[in-house]
A and B are shown apart, each in its own frame.
Chain A
Amino acid sequence: MLDLASRTAPDGQPPMLRRPGTPALIRAGVIAVLFLFVLLALPQLLSLYYIDAMTQVAVYSVVALGLGVLVGRVGLVSLGQAAVLAVGAWVAARLLFATTQPYPLVLLEAGVITMVAGTLIGLPALRMRGLYLALITLMLAGGITVVLATTNFPNGGHGFLGYDGSTVHIPAIRRPSIAASDPAYFRYSVLVAALMFLLVFAHIRTRPGRAWAAIRQSEPAALAAGINTTLYKLWAFALASFVTGVAGGVLAGAVHYLYSIGFPTQDSITLLAVVLMGGAYSMWGAIVAALLLQLLPALLNNWGVSADWLTILFGIGVLQVLTTAPAGLADQVPKDLARLGGLVAGRLRRPAPSGDGSP
């Protein structure tokens, strides 16, 4: 089990009990306002370049959310989530070329098919734990990369694989008719992402979430408490693969053309890196992770800085998270800000020693 907080944060509190004083209503209101701002105002403010980048952020926030469920909630580290995303994108692209089904239905089907595939990958998780699971998923990711390099992504050809190497004019993967333009598709993907977040939120707040928390703390204890650990671990894999598959479907429409070279093995590693940096224990962490993974490269590209610096930064970030800040940026930044705020407020009001500023 990946217990990031085991040694470095003796005061680490369970994520669900964080900020107990904040009224839930205010938080829900803040989230609703933020959501409406992203949905309505953001496409008006941004250029097409950044709208495309933000669509990617929406897609990858769902992928990071799925990995966050595995890593942060259940304590299973998967190094193959980018490969699962590629599978979802492949399935969606194939369905979109083969059928005229409405887009939401295709997304659902892509999610379900990816879920079946991901659960099959998850089956070894029932036998393997911790380190071995991480390594076997890394190998599966490598294996899927090899298969995809040979089969390629569907490009409107016939047959099961739907790939025709001789096609000169490759048709674009279609988008839903209500969201053909880039800003509209951005709104569409934000809506889909929001639905996925709600789905995961519903899981975390109910029985599966509690079971996962118990498993993460101690699997033998969870077993002794009568929790069907096999079922719930498999459930986590199924949920993570489902949302990742749906994200793959959104990705297929967002980029129009898919190439296997766009899904290298190192993406799975980078993905784990940003999820750990963003914070695996919080759902905000998934959004931070997606911003790191997709918005930062777009910004750097705009400024003419090589994206390789980001890879280096992510590497340093992983080392920093694992050694000093186990809950990631989503947890660390508010804490640091609160501490800073407490410090400033303490200086301004009275010369008393500043408190620790915990929220």
Chain B
Amino acid sequence: MAATNHPHDRGEEPASPEGAEPDARFTFANERTFLAWQRTALAFVVAGLAIVQLLPPFPGVPWGRHVLGVPLIALGGVIAVSGFRQWQRSQQSLRRQEPLPRSVLPQILAVTITAMAIVAAIVLLVSAILRH
């Protein structure tokens, strides 16, 4: 995670060849990981969309569906872009035969799912209280 001032970290092709072409299996595996993150991002988008469009409104909490759905959709976009950045960084490390960079994506995912669970519980509780 620590930022480095390595001149090659800017994503530019250096004048001299940078490292060796990695084993094709690693390149393929990196690409599959990228695709898996894109599907995860899509799942977030469709989950947010489904919450707003398919769920009936929470009684007494008219904003409940948007509070749950909009952050999920926005996060889907963030995960898509982060997944691409991660693929770029991993590919650079593979070429230089360096250790793979640590990904923040699993942390983002865990924190978000936890936060959304808490928010969902709060919305349901508030709705139940206002209903009675």
Q: Do A and B bind each other?
A: no
